[in-house]
Chains A and B, each alone.
Chain A
Amino acid sequence: GESVGLHLPTLSVQEGDNSIINCAYSNSASDYFIWYKQESGKGPQFIIDIRSNMDKRQGQRVTVLLNKTVKHLSLQIAATQPGDSAVYFCAETDNYGQNFVFGPGTRLSVLP
């Protein structure tokens, strides 16, 4: 069912620390996942993706972990910077490339 809420989950981290943002998904048939970053006043932007045949994928300062057993996805950001402050969404699909379902998002605030 649809979650109802007026407030985004928030995560505050010190600059230079690592951030971990979590996402639970419900569709066990989902086979492709993406993390998006949305900065204030902008549309979501692709960060990193992972397919269901993988459990870890690394990019530049970002790592996505997929645990299909518990239907959990996480985004790790190393050495968090002020420019990382944004809302982060996970998105899943069970039909590769089509009809993504988006999570509610997590707001990351980086403290100086």
Chain B
Amino acid sequence: DADVTQTPRNRITKTGKRIMLECSQTKGHDRMYWYRQDPGLGLRLIYYSFDVKDINKGEISDGYSVSRQAQAKFSLSLESAIPNQTALYFCATSDLNSYGYTFGSGTRLTVV
């Protein structure tokens, strides 16, 4: 099993719909992150959490919300999806002893 698992892998949704992307990890890491990837713009941070009671906004949090249900689970929600939220979304984990991040395989979201 992968260290960081994202579901679904692909999703097509309609404008205005609520959608949740899920992330779970078996690394035992305290820190979890949600990134968005668009062509030519690299990875941009949406939200991050350093432990279950900690939630922080990243550089592009507008239109998104998150929930850290447990140390191992961090979900990203789009309350009312819009077409410019079409992107590849990555969850990542880390802790003080890790070298950089461990990424999931990504969720490709298309909003039509």
Q: Which residues of A approach B to under 8 Å, CB–CB?
A: 2-8, 34, 36, 41-46, 49, 89, 91, 97-100, 102-105
Q: Within the assembled complex, what's the spacing in Å between the Cα atoms of A34 and B100?
A: 7
Q: Within the assembled complex, what's the spacing in Å between the Cα atoms of A49 and B101?
A: 12
Q: Are A97 and B98 in contact (CB under 8 A)?
A: yes
B80 to A: closest C-beta gap in Å:
25
Q: Within the assembled complex, what's the spacing in Å between the Cα atoms of A103 and B41?
A: 8
The residues of B that contact A91 with a CB separation of less than 8 Å are 100
Q: Within the assembled complex, what's the spacing in Å between the Cα atoms of A100 and B43?
A: 10
Which of B4, B41, B99, B103 meets A4, CB within 8 Å? B41
Q: Could you show 6 A-B contacts with beta carbons less than 8 Å apart?
A: A3-B41, A41-B105, A43-B92, A43-B103, A43-B106, A102-B44
Given contacts A43-B90, A43-B106, A49-B100, is CB(A6)–CB(B48) below 8 Å? no
Q: Within the assembled complex, what's the spacing in Å between the Cα atoms of A6 and B106?
A: 20
The residues of B that contact A46 with a CB separation of less than 8 Å are 99-102
Which of B99, B100, B104 has the most chain A CB atoms inside 10 A of its CB?
B100
Q: Which residues of B approach A to under 8 Å, CB–CB?
A: 4, 31, 35, 39-45, 48, 90, 92, 94-96, 98-106
The residue in chain A whose Cβ has the minimal distance to the Cβ of B98 is A97
Q: Are B40 and A42 in contact (CB under 8 A)?
A: no
Q: Within the assembled complex, what's the spacing in Å between the Cα atoms of A45 and B106?
A: 12
Q: Within the assembled complex, what's the spacing in Å between the Cα atoms of A43 and B96?
A: 21
Q: Within the assembled complex, what's the spacing in Å between the Cα atoms of A104 and B95?
A: 24
Given contacts A97-B94, A98-B31, is CB(A105)–CB(B42) below 8 Å? yes
